[in-house]
A and B are shown apart, each in its own frame.
Chain A
Amino acid sequence: MTNALELDGLRMHFGPVRAVDGVSLTIPRGGVTALVGESGSGKSTVGRCVVRLLKPTGGVVRIGGVDVTRLSRRELRPHRAEVSIVFQDPAGSLDPRMLVGDVVAEPLRLAGGSRLSRRARQQRVSEALAEVGLRDEVARRYPHELSGGQRQRVSIARALISSPALLIADEPTSALDVSVQASVLNLLADLQRDIGFACLFITHNLAAVEYLADQIAVMYLGKLMETGSREQIFARPAHPYTQALLAAAPVADPVRQRAQQKVLLGDDMPSALDPPSGCVFRTRCPLAFEKCALEVPPPVRIGDGEAACHLVQADGTRPDVRTGAHG
């Protein structure tokens, strides 16, 4: 069976800026992979390459087995319905002059759904709205009349109306309040389970994906540092960056949070204009040594995933950023 998404050595350079620099990733049909990283890591650029809002400067993007990396706009059209995207800011990604019903119906129209009768289209729109928990009458409102959570539901309805095999969710809940965030995350999880689309969930917040993703990929300065199953990444993170990221996210439990040993990274991510030699994380890594500046660490198989670190070995040896122990 073909995979929903395959990235093979994806590169997206903007002139001298290496925003994405060799990312390889596979999402099987119906799988959910979280792409996690700090701002500036290149995670959103990956998403934009996949939906071909950007034309990658290198590597391959395959959607459902079809290489879409270099297709022209016209050639892409038949594949557009295969993949949809939901953005962070629902206020900025919905046209304020369009009625919600037209916003949601637009992908159908673009996919050559003009053959669909007006009535059939309306029917599909109300189904899509119902799926995301919105009442039919919302179709006749404008986006500004809705709350942030409702707008994000509209974005999700629009993304799913063409029955895509792959959904890119780019920080879909980061602009929302905690209580609303929970309902949108639950909605995405429910829809994913029921409909079975594959999902690339892009986020800076590891905690948000703990119960949503099967696989987690951790990105830093254009490269993947570590990939693995959700269970493994949370329980036994191998890469020092993954460990630091997990330790830095505060836990909403004062007793646990205060007992936790902190790992301070120093807060300067280097510029993607001039990334460090060798391992890109070495300038902030508390465990870096000579080799890290000289050689780019290749991904090493560990458990059910891979980590790109000189201190990680295939026999399961991994560093611990808290104790500073090598292995």
Chain B
Amino acid sequence: MILEVADLTVSFVTESGDVSAVDGVNLDLDAGEIVGVVGESGCGKSVTAMSLAGLLPRSARVSGSVRLRGTELIGAREPELRRVRGKEIAYIFQEPMTSLNPVLTVGRQIGEVLQEHERLSRKQVRQRAVELLSLVGIPSPANRVDNYPHQLSGGMRQRVMIAMAVACNPTVLVADEPTTALDVTAQAGILDVLRNLRDRLGTSVLIITHDLGVIADIADRVVVMYAGRVVEQAPVVELFAHPHHHYTDGLLKASPTPGRHAGTDRLQEIPGLVPVLTRQPDACTFADRCPAADQKCRGSAPPLTASSGSQAHLAACWHPTRQEAKR
């Protein structure tokens, strides 16, 4: 395993008391693997991503373990983390315009990353920047390298962000909603770039998204999060074909998918609201919205366990959908 996250727990100190954002998340990422983390706003997916390289603000209390090739990162000192960021774990975020500096050319910005971690001459830096722009599919990279961010479209800016992120050939690329701010036509291109990086450089990719379509397109394995916990984890085809957790099932049925709703005129809803948690209860956090919930679900938290069928398919549910069908 390249990256192993074990029992990661994050809470924030706020005026209205502590807020639990992530509760005991386990997650791993193999070499050259693309893992998708999916969930709705507030489920803790971004906080999980940010905590990997220590990007959370000081108000966050983080515990548990994040191991990168066996090296523990939780509690690591700042100089150690600085070496890891960019060189080992790199990030791209949702909004490329606010992540880029408007007064520097894209070549300069890519150059900054290179110089932070590698000793290169100015000429080498420029040449490397052009190579990187070409790697992420920017046409005529030798000209684009001198462009300012405002001269590029949203999709092109996100490509520049990816070029910066992979400048030092990181082991892990964390992409937090990389296509959410883009049009579908640009989105398809960005997903292709990420796939291409994995294929050509062997980069492991952790992609965070709320969009099941994106997951279906790119992920090898999927982790579903709800209210700070991992509720289900499975290889992508298996997850979509046989969701075990009722939340996953509901999410799939609620997503508009061309063709699937032929003959019906309604989408399935998930009743109720995502809970805001000041303290994680010893109960299933989905119980209040779940069609299969009973006393057991409200009295103790289900552990994330393998199903009878496959060791790779885990779900945290006392009454998984499959067993229900058998009854």
Contact = CB atoms under 8 A, between A and B. Distances in A.
Contacts of B269: 179, 182-183, 186
B97 to A, nearest CB: 13
A131 to B, nearest CB: 17
Interface stretch (A72-80, A86-94, A205-213): A205-213
Interface string B138-150: 0100000000000
B258 A234 contact: yes
A189 interface: yes
B40 interface: yes
A267 B257 contact: no
A244 B255 CA distance: 21
A178 B255 contact: yes
Interface string A150-169: 00000000000000000000
Nearest to A183: B269
Contacts of A266: 139, 189
A268 B268 contact: no
A249 B183 CA distance: 9
A253 interface: yes
Interface in A256-289: 256-258, 262, 264-269
A268 B156 contact: yes
Contacts of B264: 211
B324 interface: no
B216 A267 contact: no
Contacts of A256: 216
A255 interface: yes
A245 B185 contact: yes
A250 B251 CA distance: 16
Given A185-B256, A186-B266, A205-B256, A253 B216 contact: yes
B212 A267 contact: no
A39 interface: yes
Contacts of A257: 213, 216-217
B80 interface: no
A67 B254 CA distance: 40
B258 A189 contact: no
B267 interface: yes
Given A185-B256, A250-B214, A250-B217, A179 B240 contact: no
Nearest to B237: A254
A232 interface: no
Nearest to B247: A179
B184 A249 contact: yes
B252 interface: yes
A134 interface: no
A244 B187 CA distance: 13
B273 interface: yes
Contacts of A189: 265-266
A250 B216 contact: yes
Given A257-B217, A268-B156, A252 B240 contact: yes
Contacts of A147: 273
A224 to B, nearest CB: 18
B214 to A, nearest CB: 6
A266 B210 CA distance: 24
Contacts of A208: 256
Nearest to A204: B183
Nearest to B252: A252
Interface string B149-167: 0000111100000000000
Contacts of A254: 215-217, 219, 236-237, 240
A248 B240 contact: no
Given A244-B185, A250-B217, A254-B237, A268 B153 contact: yes
B41 interface: yes
Contacts of A38: 183-185
Given A147-B273, A186-B266, A268-B153, A207 B216 contact: no
B250 interface: yes
A178 B251 contact: yes
Contacts of A23: none
A268 B189 CA distance: 11
A249 B214 contact: no
A249 B215 CA distance: 12
Contacts of A183: 269
Nearest to B254: A182
Contact of A178 (B185, B212, B219, B273): B212
A322 B266 CA distance: 31
Interface in A200-228: 204-208, 210-211
A251 interface: yes
A186 B215 CA distance: 24
A149 B273 CA distance: 9
Contacts of B183: 38-39, 204, 267
B41 A177 contact: yes
**Residue among A211, A245, A254, A266 with the most chain B CB within 10 A?**
A254
A181 interface: yes
Contacts of B257: 207, 251-253
Given A189-B265, A250-B211, A251-B216, A179 B237 contact: no
17 contacts: A38-B184, A177-B41, A179-B40, A181-B254, A182-B255, A182-B268, A186-B267, A208-B256, A210-B258, A248-B187, A250-B187, A250-B211, A254-B236, A257-B213, A262-B188, A264-B188, A269-B153
Q: Which 4 A-B pairs have the closest CB atoms?
A: A250-B213, A267-B155, A267-B186, A179-B270
Interface of B: 40-41, 139, 153-156, 182-189, 191-192, 210-217, 219, 236-237, 240-241, 250-252, 254-261, 264-270, 273-274
Interface of A: 38-39, 147, 149, 177-179, 181-183, 185-186, 189, 204-208, 210-211, 234, 244-246, 248-258, 262, 264-269
Given A211-B264, A267-B153, 13 more contacts: A178-B212, A181-B256, A186-B267, A234-B259, A250-B191, A252-B212, A254-B219, A255-B241, A257-B216, A262-B188, A262-B192, A267-B156, A268-B155
